[in-house]
Structure 1
Amino acid sequence: MTFYKQLIHTTIFVIFLAGIVSCGTGNEETTFSDGDSVEGTKAPSFEYGIETDSFSVIQGVIKKNEFLSDILLRYNVPYGLIHKISEKSKDVYDVRRLGRGKNYTLLCAKDSLSTARYFIYQANEIDYVIYYFQGDSVDIKLGAKPITLVEQLKEGVIKSSLYNTLIDSNQNVLLAFEMADIFAWTIDFYRLQPGDKYTILYTEMQVENKCIGIKRVNAVVFNHEGKDFRAYYYKQDSTGADYFDEEAQSLRKAFLKSPLKYSRLSSAFTQRRFHPVQKRWKAHLGTDYAAPSGTPIMSTGDGVITEASHKAFNGNYVKIRHNSVYNTQYLHMSRIAKGIKPGVYVKQGDVIGYVGSTGLATGPHVCYRFWKNGSQVNHLHEEFPPSEPIQEKNMADFKEYLIKVDSSLQNNLSP
Structure 2
Amino acid sequence: MKIQKAFFALAQIITLVLLLVANSFILDFIMNIENGYEKSANHFDLKECQTSPSGLVFGFDPKHFSIETRKMPSGKSLSELFRNNDINGPKSEKLIKNISELIDLRNLRSGNTYGFIASNPCIEPDYFIYEIDASKYLTCELKGDHCVNLQYRNSELKREHASGIIESSLWNALEGQNLSLDLIDQMEDALSSSVDFHHVQRGNTFKLIYNRLYIEGKPTQSGDLLAAYFETDYGEHFSISFKPNNKKGFYNLKGSPMVSRFLQAPVRFSRISSGFNMRRFHPVLKYSRPHLGTDYAAPMGLQFYLLGPESLKQHLILQVMEIL
TM-score (norm 1): 0.49
Aligned counterpart in structure 2 of residue 168 of structure 1, from 170, 176, 185:
176
Whether 1:207 and 2:212 are equivalent positions in the alignment is: no
Seen in structure 2, the aligned counterparts of structure 1 residues 93 and 55 have a Cα distance that, compared at 3 Å, is: farther
The secondary structure found in structure 1 opposite 2:260 is coil
Whether 1:229 and 2:173 are equivalent positions in the alignment is: no
Q: Which has the higher helix share?
A: 2
Q: Distance in 2 between matches of 1:106 and 1:159?
A: 49
Contact (CA 8 Å) 1:125, 1:212: kept in 2 or not? Answer: no
Q: Distance in 2 between matches of 1:99 and 1:240?
A: 27
Equivalent AA in structure 2 for residue 213 of structure 1: S
Q: Distance in 1 between matches of 2:133 and 2:161?
A: 27
Equivalent AA in structure 2 for residue 141 of structure 1: N
What is the match of residue 296 of structure 2? 291
Seen in structure 2, the aligned counterparts of structure 1 residues 114 and 97 have a Cα distance that, compared at 3 Å, is: farther
What is the match of residue 155 of structure 1? 163
Contact (CA 8 Å) 1:102, 1:123: kept in 2 or not? Answer: yes
What is the match of residue 184 of structure 1? 192
Please provide the CA RMSD for this pair: 4.1
Whether 1:109 and 2:119 are equivalent positions in the alignment is: yes
1:217-366 to structure 2, matched below 5 A, reads: 217-225=225-233, 227-236=235-244, 241-262=248-269, 263=271, 290-293=295-298, 295-300=302-307
Aligned counterpart in structure 1 of residue 44 of structure 2, from 24, 39, 42:
39
Q: Distance in 2 between matches of 1:214 and 1:83?
A: 37
Seen in structure 2, the aligned counterparts of structure 1 residues 124 and 369 have a Cα distance that, compared at 3 Å, is: same
Whether 1:56 and 2:56 are equivalent positions in the alignment is: no
Aligned counterpart in structure 1 of residue 312 of structure 2, from 335, 349, 368:
368
State the 1:180 CA deviation. Answer: 1.5
Equivalent AA in structure 1 for residue 186 of structure 2: E
What is the match of residue 133 of structure 1? 142
1:110-145 per-position Cα deviation (integer Å, ceiling 9, x unaligned)? 4x83432111111322332211032x4321223333
State the 1:54 CA deviation. Answer: 8.8
Seen in structure 2, the aligned counterparts of structure 1 residues 139 and 158 have a Cα distance that, compared at 3 Å, is: same
Seen in structure 2, the aligned counterparts of structure 1 residues 187 and 127 have a Cα distance that, compared at 3 Å, is: same
State the 1:300 CA deviation. Answer: 4.4
State the 1:251 CA deviation. Answer: 2.7
More displaced stretch, 116-125 vs 142-151: 142-151
Aligned counterpart in structure 2 of residue 69 of structure 1, from 83, 89, 95:
83
1:183-203 per-position Cα deviation (integer Å, ceiling 9, x unaligned)? 111111111011111111111
Contact (CA 8 Å) 1:233, 1:243: kept in 2 or not? Answer: yes
What is the match of residue 124 of structure 1? 133
Contact (CA 8 Å) 1:154, 1:200: kept in 2 or not? Answer: yes
Equivalent AA in structure 1 for residue 127 of structure 2: Y
Seen in structure 2, the aligned counterparts of structure 1 residues 115 and 188 have a Cα distance that, compared at 3 Å, is: same
Q: Distance in 2 between matches of 1:235 and 1:96?
A: 30
Contact (CA 8 Å) 2:65, 2:119: kept in 1 or not? Answer: yes
Q: Distance in 1 between matches of 2:98 and 2:180?
A: 41
Seen in structure 2, the aligned counterparts of structure 1 residues 122 and 239 have a Cα distance that, compared at 3 Å, is: closer
Q: Distance in 2 between matches of 1:172 and 1:166?
A: 9
Percent identical among aligned pairs is: 17
Seen in structure 2, the aligned counterparts of structure 1 residues 121 and 298 have a Cα distance that, compared at 3 Å, is: same
Q: Distance in 2 between matches of 1:256 and 1:100?
A: 34
Unaligned runs of 5+ in 1: 1-36, 268-287, 302-327, 330-366, 379-415
